[in-house]
Amino acid sequence: MSVIAKDVRSSNWDGDSGSSIVILLHGYGSNEQDLTGLIPALGVGIPWASLRAPIELGNGGAAWFTITTPGDPDAGPVEQSTAAIWDWIDANTLAGSKVIPVGFSQGGLMATQLLRSRPERVAATVVLGGFVLSGAQPGDPEIATGRPPVFWGRGAEDRVITPQAVERTAAFLPEHARLIERVYAGLAHGISSSEVDDARAFLSEAVGPAVLIAG
């Protein structure tokens, strides 16, 4: 069973997460500290937590799932990690609170998994250099109807996410979300300042500056 054993939380996390929280989900081989540097640039003023993936890789790194076929992971391990994230959320937040997942690479896939599994709990989704899982997920019919806001940014020179995964995501998201898609010239498998600026603008529009963006 996959379990979230470690996390980093914002200083304003007091056990009462309020109406919305940001959940940071790192990429393969990284850890819970990795994406915390995005918080000031995104202007996050509400509580946030950065979770450590459950599969330990050694040398401080972790993964949400093992890589079998690049860009097309087995559904079972992905869904186990999705359940582990929801277990953490249920144990550490109020039942009525909304989550705003922000994920990079593997974490970007996990961000879409939160949306596709329990869309009623997700306010907006930010996918940075990530993709979607092949095959149906429980929340797909609901999001196809409701069209929740999703930001998907990626580098034009990204050679880590396979073309097949990009094509799958490019087909799925426009049919299931109010999608803001951005492709950044010259960017490989990483996150650029322009991408962060665009994600911040997206969140301000999707969630509301009074809720999310610090003054």
Residue type, 45: G
Alpha-carbon distance of 145 to 193, in angstroms, equals 33
Domain ranges, residue 180:
7-206
Has residue 211 been placed in a domain? no
User: What is the average per-residue pLDDT within 62-90?
Assistant: 96
Is 182 within the bounds of a domain?
yes
For residue 212, being part of any structural domain is answered with no
Band (pLDDT 50/70/90 cuts) for residue 18 is low
As a whole number, mean pLDDT of residues 13-28 equals 85
Judge whether 57 lies within some domain.
Answer: yes
Place of tokens 């093992």: 66
Residue 185, domain member (yes or no): yes
Whether this prediction's pTM lies above 0.85 is answered by: yes
66 belongs to a structural domain:
yes
Residue 40, number of CB atoms within 10 A of its CB: 10
Annotate 163-188 with DSSP letters as a single string.
Answer: HHHHHHHHHHHHHHSEEEEEEETT--
In a domain, 194, yes or no: yes
Handedness of CA 142, 84, 104, 198 (dihedral sign): positive
How many independent structural domains does the chain possess?
1
Q: Do 99 and 111 touch, CB atoms closer than 8 A?
A: no
What CATH number does residue 36 fall under?
A: 3.40.50.1820
* 93-129 tens-digit pLDDT: 988 899 999 999 999 999 999 999 999 999 999 999 9
CA-CA distance, 211 to 19, in Å (whole number)? 9
